[in-house]
Amino acid sequence: AALPPDIAALVERRQRSFGAGSVLFYDVPLKVVKAEGPYLHASDGRAYLDFYNNVPTVGHCHPKVVEAVQRQIGQFNIHSRYLFDVSHDYAEKLLASFPASLSNIVLTCTGSESNDLALRIAKRASGGTGFVVTQTAYHGNTSAVTEVSPSSYRNGAPPPHVRMVPPPDPAIFGNDVGQGFAEAVAGAIAAMEADGIRFAGLLVDTIFSSDGVFADPPGFLNAAVEVTHKAGGLFIADEVQPGFGRTGAGMWGFSRHGLTPDIVTMGKPMGNGYPVAGVVTRPELLADFCADFGYFNTFAASPVATAAALAVLEAIEEDGLIANADRVGRHLKARLTHLMGKAPITAVRGAGLYLGVAFGDESGPRADIAKALINGLKAKGILIGAAGQFGNVLKIRPPLCVTTDHADQLADALEQLLTPTG
């Protein structure tokens, strides 16, 4: 499609500066001019309903977060080697949402830094170097974390210390997903140890978002965690995607499984767009790590970062967003499930406001349908993305303030696009 002149000019400027690193969405990229609640306003004069972005979890430009950041940045902003109240107010409030044993937090700026630190803590505690991850996982962009993020590999295989298992998909493991997944993890551990690599831990995104969204049945992860502990490894729960109430069942994806991880990493929604992330773990694991290495992060735990993050926690509570994620999520999942007979949908999965709709038929996974829907929905004013090994799973993760009306708008639009005459 020919791009409107203003968009074409910006795309050209972008490519000149950012080169091959520039990645854009959509045939006609969106130029954003404003955002509010679940809406992104674009330069074409339209307000797009945002079902893609899980960072602005309490809503774009939530007034509480805007106010907290503005107030604190006008007062003082400094690194964390000084005393100030707000980071303690935050740490205490956040840690209260964890099982009692997980009582220490290290603040960072990104999910990647959090996972990088989690790998280091797990290596120190286990004495191993080997990690098991799912085959389309994404955990971040440092050199160590890229190695445990198979979805980032453009060419080639993982290094020897990284072993991949399939996602916990009933289509692969049958009805007892938990048992099948645990056996795959056990097999991966045995294979690495046979190659002389000592196991350090299992790292998973507890909603398996980039693998294509796998949430059910709650509790299925337990068997794999048991296998991990028996083999002397640590279980690292990456909550960057499901954390902060998105599953509608408490604050954390792991709690849906009734688990207590050894290490939990978080990021994205934590500051509603302000870069703040963290690692939560047991005090003794952190103490062991710190005996060998210090950890300092200039911008992490700053007053502004923790003020933003505190406002997010307060907004989740005050706006009742966990209950809303549950209620609107159930409604949307029921409506999407209803579409199954009308289109080549092989599964509707997920929990709360993290849903996946997989497309496929006898020819296999149908990424073409997901791609056409992404552009078709944009034409109807709705933003959405895709995930999964084959890119055939629509990934639905709006700000948690969406209503059932917004959910109906998405379901209606999908129904129209999937109805051949529609």
Q: Compare residues 112 and 392 and give the one whose CB is closer to ligand PMP.
A: 112
Backbone angles phi, psi at 295, to 5 degrees: -140, 115
List 50, 169, 205, 326, residue binding ligand PMP (CB under 6 A): 205
Contact with ligand PMP (CB under 6 A) among 240, 270, 407, 411: 240
Q: Are 284 and 104 in contact (CB under 8 A)?
A: no
Tell me which residues in 86-115 interact with ligand PMP (CB under 6 A).
Answer: 110-112, 115
Which residues inside 119-158 make contact with ligand PMP, applying CB under 6 A? 138-141
Nearer to ligand PMP, 141 or 375 (CB): 141
What count of Cα atoms within 13 Å lies in the side-chain half-sphere of residue 312?
36
Q: Of residues 116, 238, 262, 326, which one binds ligand PMP by CB under 6 A? A: 238
Is there a contact between 203 and 139 (Cβ–Cβ < 8 Å)?
A: yes
Alpha-carbon distance values, 237 to 98, 118, 303, 311, 339 (Å): 12, 10, 26, 24, 32
Tell me the closest approach of the beta carbon of residue 406 to ligand PMP, in angstroms: 23
CB of 403 to ligand PMP, least distance (A): 26
| C-alpha to C-alpha distances, 294 to 78, 84, 117, 195, nearest whole angstrom | 19, 21, 11, 32
HEC profile of 245-288: CCCCCCCCHHHHCCCCCCEEEECHHHHECECCEEEEECHHHHHH
| Amino acid in the structure at residue 319 | D
Nearer to ligand PMP, 232 or 385 (CB): 385
Least distance from C-beta 137 to ligand PMP, angstroms?
7
Residue number of the CB atom closest to ligand PMP? 111
- Compute the least distance from the CB of residue 73 to ligand PMP, in Å: 21
Task: Give the CA angle between residues 51, 52, 58 to the nearest 5°.
Answer: 75
Site string (274-293) toward ligand PMP, x via CB under 6 A: ---x----------------
Residues 361 to 400 in contact with ligand PMP, rule: CB under 6 A: none
Torsion angle in degrees (nearest 10) through CA of 407, 411, 413, 416: -160
Instruction: Please give the residue ranges that form the binding site for ligand PMP (CB under 6 A).
Output: 110-112, 115, 138-141, 205, 238, 240-241, 267-268, 277
